[in-house]
Amino acid sequence: MGEFELIGRYFAAAPCAGHGGEVALGIGDDCALLAPAAGEQLAVSTDTLVSGVHFPERADPFLLGQRSLAVAASDLAAMGARPLGFTLALTLPAFSADWLERYAAGLSRMAERCALRLIGGDTTRGPLSLTLTVFGSVPARQALVRSGARAGELFCVGGPLGDAAGALPLVLGQLQAPAELAEPLLARYWSPEPQLALGQALRGHASAALDISDGLLADAGHIAQASGVAIRIERSRVPVSDALRAVHGEAAALQAALAGGDDYILAFSLPGEALAPLQAAGWPILAIGQVLAGQGVQLIDDAGQDITPAVRGYQHFRETP
């Protein structure tokens, strides 16, 4: 099957493809055309997932379709953007009708949940990798960025952390657990829920934000550096799910929450007076620390002692001794 027939059969005809609204022109021409509303800015982000690095080589293609779009869409949530569309550059080692059908079905499932439309892309032969570029719209000067945190504010997250990192040994077959404990963790790994609605609700309230992909401590460091502040996190306030504790124990569960990565939960700084109204509106916001004058990220115990670990999150090119 040729490249254009593959695109036409499995992606141009997929439920997530098409145009309308702010997608003026979708798949079929040299470029897609987007038409954001007046006074809106275009938010754009690209993520690449490589077999054997970001997912197991024999990953279920349906689950992979969901995951590959969710991790990209999470960047829109981090900016407070409303989703518009996405492109897919797909590199395949060989043609497989079953793999493509299942991948496209998972992709469409997540696209529906995120209100995203497939508007273009590319296919080629080579080692399996997926590059997705997402497009969103945000009112001018209201995007959530990393550089606005101020001393005196709270440091918050949008829910429990560490489940996806805790699922990885299950995904790789290195650990077994009862289904009632394994399934919530596996769902967080294969089908993360981009916090798109929360990101939009934080516009005008949060001073800085990002989504946690490399680990809480590492990503908090990005906000601290961009904003020129220090962030102090209280260990006892870091939220960890019951399932993660049951599968891994308290210490390992906390380590997964602090440095495991793949959460795709929002972390953000927030003026203290904004917390209660947002919580009263039903948003799953937890204050876990403070923004201070200074620099860097510090983890403290109940006695206020510095217990910051040396390893704070995942890096692709970290040098090893």
Mean pLDDT of the 143-162 span: 98
Class of domain 8-139: alpha beta
Instruction: State which H helix or E strand residue 291 sits in.
Output: strand 286-292
Mean pLDDT of the 221-232 span: 98
Q: How far apart are CA 207 and CA 220, in angstroms?
A: 13
Residue 321 has pLDDT above 60, yes or no: no
Q: How far apart are CA 196 and CA 84, in angstroms?
A: 12
Phi, psi values for residue 245, rounded to 5°: -60, -45
The predicted model scores a pTM of 0.92
Instruction: State which H helix or E strand residue 106 sits in.
Output: helix 97-114
Position of tokens 């496209």?
Answer: 104
Closest CA to 89 of 20, 7, 199, 22: 7
Average pLDDT, the chain: 92
Mean pLDDT of the 87-92 span: 95
- As annotated, the residues of the chain forming the CATH 3.90.650.10 domain(s) are 154-300
What pLDDT sits at residue 13?
73
What pLDDT sits at residue 3?
61
What pLDDT sits at residue 314?
52
Mean pLDDT of the 249-278 span: 96
What pLDDT sits at residue 128?
95
Taking only the tens place, the pLDDT of each residue in 42-76 is 999 999 999 988 899 889 999 999 999 999 999 99
Residue 228 has pLDDT above 80, yes or no: yes
Q: Are 176 and 276 in contact (CB under 8 A)?
A: no
Sheet strand arrangement including 117-125 = 40-50, 129-139, 82-92, 117-125
Beta bridge partners of 279: none
- As annotated, the residues of the chain forming the CATH 3.30.1330.10 domain(s) are 8-139
What pLDDT sits at residue 153?
98
Right CATH for 154-300 from 1.10.3720.10, 3.90.650.10, 3.20.20.70, 3.30.70.360? 3.90.650.10
